[in-house]
Amino acid sequence: MGELSAERHQANILIVDDEPANLKLLDKMLASQGYVNRILVQDPREVLPRFEQESIDLVLLDINMPHLDGYQVMEQLMALNLPLLPPIVILTAQQTKDYLLRALAAGARDFISKPFDRNELLMRVRNLLDAHLAHRMVQDQKAVLEEMVALRTRELHRSRLLVVQTLGRAAEYRDEETGSHILRMSHICAVLARGIGWSEQQCDLILNASPMHDVGKIAIPDAILKKPGRFEPEEFETMKTHAALGAEMLEGDDSDLMVMARTIAISHHEKWDGSGYPYGLTGASIPQAARIAALADVFDALTSVRPYKKAWTVEAAVEFIRENSGKHFDPALVEVFLQQLPEILVIRDTFIG
């Protein structure tokens, strides 16, 4: 309570009255009680500038004034849309109910009748200041807590990204792919997502989730994973299990990042015409993030050197994408891919390896 009392006496009290005698009287009353920050305004046109300059904790406001009356002053203060407006106390010689109700409706919290009763005025000032300062302390604590939550959220996001990047690299090492493939593929995903109207937040999400698309290959035996030639039918069936295995590895976290990573892992080998795996999904039933990842992955894989193949030319890979529009790939995404091809080629030339 002592801390609140000390803060109360340091509060900024704005006193607005066109009568110098009233200002002097109010100033003297408040000074006698230890209020040290008293701001006196005789011209109501100065209220708004002073209010914006100072951190005001309480306003004592006359109603009948030249240039701007108290109602107009309150209208100006309300228009600031402050998260926490200080209490406004009306100073008035009027006692009619309609007059007081109008003041309260305009934003006043209380009123003090003229001529001033010293004890009544000081009690109202103290009570309103205590309530306002307590409310401000709660608001400050809320802001601190919100920042702590935001900081913890950022830390969790960084931790998840580290998990994503570590597992993505582990999958690359097993598959003898380079980190550059993952970088190119994920950045192409972001370009395609942006091209179809995804928000920047969602584009960032797919940029960071898509590197996990082949994480399930960690569980595929080397004899199959690193085989230089074509797979036998039973070997290909084993290879196809990496999609479901990857999704299983990414379970247990419902963050947006990990949900999208699981979605891409399980569905990036589905094809628009239903001939993909593991579920044979067709068309729009394939999650859009997985459709994006499939196109980005295939294009970069075609134009990259692998132990079992040479790199295709860009022209040949683009022609393959065109030919498989509506078969392997979402036709709408193919159109975006073709539109964004110059930016995609910049990505290809940026992350070389």
Q: Which domains does the chain have, with CATH numbers?
A: 2-146 (3.40.50.2300), 176-350 (1.10.3210.10)
pLDDT-derived band of residue 347, with 50, 70 and 90 as boundaries?
very high
Q: What is the mean pLDDT of residues 122-138?
A: 82
Measured distance CA(299)–CA(185) in Å, rounded? 8
Query: Does the structure show a pLDDT above 50 at 1?
Result: no
Measured distance CA(157)–CA(312) in Å, rounded? 37
Structure tokens at 106: 């305009």
pLDDT-derived band of residue 287, with 50, 70 and 90 as boundaries?
very high
- State the average pLDDT for the chain: 85
Range in 41-45, 82-86, 268-272, 306-310 the model is least confident about: 306-310
For the chain, give the percent of residues with pLDDT over 90: 37
Q: What is the pLDDT of residues 161-209, one digit of tens each?
A: 666 666 666 666 555 555 678 889 999 999 999 999 999 999 999 998 9
123 vs 336, residue with greater confidence: 336
Q: What pLDDT score does 121 carry?
A: 84
Query: Does the structure show a pLDDT above 60 at 4?
Result: no
Inter-axis angle of helices 179-195 and 331-339, to 10 degrees? 100
Note the pTM of the prediction, 2 decimals. 0.57
pLDDT-derived band of residue 259, with 50, 70 and 90 as boundaries?
very high
Measured distance CA(92)–CA(70) in Å, rounded? 10
Measured distance CA(215)–CA(248) in Å, rounded? 10
Contact, 26 vs 17, CB < 8 A? Answer: yes
Inter-axis angle of helices 2-9 and 118-175, to 10 degrees? 110
Q: What is the mean pLDDT of residues 290-312?
A: 88
